[in-house]
Amino acid sequence: MESIYFGLLIFIAVMFYGCVCILKIKNMRTVLQEIVGLEEEARKEKLARYRIPKLNIGILSKISSKAKKANLNFGELEVFAMEVLCAAIAFGILKFLFTSTYVALIGIPIGLYVPINILNAMISKRGELLAKQLHGCLIIWANSLRSGVSLAQAIAGSIGRVAPQINEELKRIKYDIDLGFSSADALEKALVRIPVAEFKMVVMTAKIHRQLGGNLAERFDNICLTIEERIATRDVLKAHTTQAKLGAVVAGLMPFIVLIILKTMSPDYLKPMLDSPYGTMMLMLSVFLVFLGWFTINKLSTIKFN
């Protein structure tokens, strides 16, 4: 009996010691969570100062900024003229095909959207090209920084040693530096022209380095690794979405091609529908659904990286 009581006493002592240890660990964990939470809040508050603020601008200004990213020097007036011209062309094409003003009116919003879609395609293509060229540019900058030069000197030294497309952007950045802007500010001004997500990381890194210091060359090496992984991922996804994009083009153009052939072979083929208000409404709905199908397939097959 004494051994049983002794064993029970030891068991209670061990359980009590375990409870005390668990309470200590819980208190330590609570303190650590509070410290981590404070550090996380401080990090977010500190990084918020370096984030690029979003601007609330008009539709024409947004399209104009898209044109700059596509390397087109279009102002708001040129953008407005381009939108009006495309809307008029779409209206004229549908008017020629259907000879109905009501059906042709559907072409106005379609014509207004087509330039935006073309600009997005140009931006995506230019972004892929500049991302590959930015990789080599960052390697040159990192090696120059390790040799002891400043970021401004590294940017100036890389001019003429990179591909022509990004070389033009480097010349503009150097021009801003020569005007008196800091390297970080000159890089930030180039954001409106360079549609590359990693370039935003470069700008943020340069701004943080200007305030807090650190190993900028190592940061550029890390961004280079990110660019390599994103390029590989982009190539794989592009191979998988090519068929869907081709299907969107076929789905959008095929009805109009068939209609042109029918109108050439039999000009009065659509006359019974055009003479009826219900037929006109059905034609308007069909044009809208064709555009909606193309828009949906195109959106589903487009993956944004920038």
Place of tokens 């340069």: 206
Q: What pLDDT is attached to residue 281?
A: 86
pLDDT classification of 22: cutoffs 50, 70, 90: low
pLDDT classification of 12: cutoffs 50, 70, 90: low
Residues sharing a CB contact under 8 Å with residue 106, sequence separation 6 or more, in sequence order: 94, 284, 287, 288, 291
Q: Which of 35-44, 72-81, 123-132 has the highest mean pLDDT?
A: 123-132
Q: What pLDDT is attached to residue 25?
A: 53
- Identify whether the C-beta of residue 164 lies closer than 8 Å to the C-beta of residue 130: no
Q: What pLDDT is attached to residue 295?
A: 84
Average pLDDT, rounded, for the chain: 78
Q: What pLDDT is attached to residue 116?
A: 87
Q: What pLDDT is attached to residue 228?
A: 86
The lowest-confidence range among 46-55, 74-83, 210-219, 292-301 is 46-55
Domain boundaries of the chain, sorted by first residue? 121-305
> With 50 as the cut, is the pLDDT of residue 4 above it?
no
Q: What pLDDT is attached to residue 30?
A: 52
Q: What pLDDT is attached to residue 23?
A: 52
Q: What percent of the chain has pLDDT over 70?
A: 80
Q: Which residue has the higher pLDDT, 290 or 59?
A: 290
Tens digit of each residue's pLDDT (9 = 90 or more) over 98-119:
888 888 888 888 888 888 888 8
Q: What pLDDT is attached to residue 34?
A: 54
> With 70 as the cut, is the pLDDT of residue 28 above it?
no
> With 50 as the cut, is the pLDDT of residue 90 above it?
yes
Tens digit of each residue's pLDDT (9 = 90 or more) over 248-289:
788 788 888 888 888 888 878 778 887 888 888 888 888 888
> With 60 as the cut, is the pLDDT of residue 232 above it?
yes
Distance of alpha carbon 81 from alpha carbon 69, whole angstroms: 19
Q: What pLDDT is attached to residue 17?
A: 53
- Range 146-157 average pLDDT: 88
Q: What pLDDT is attached to residue 289?
A: 87
pLDDT classification of 69: cutoffs 50, 70, 90: confident
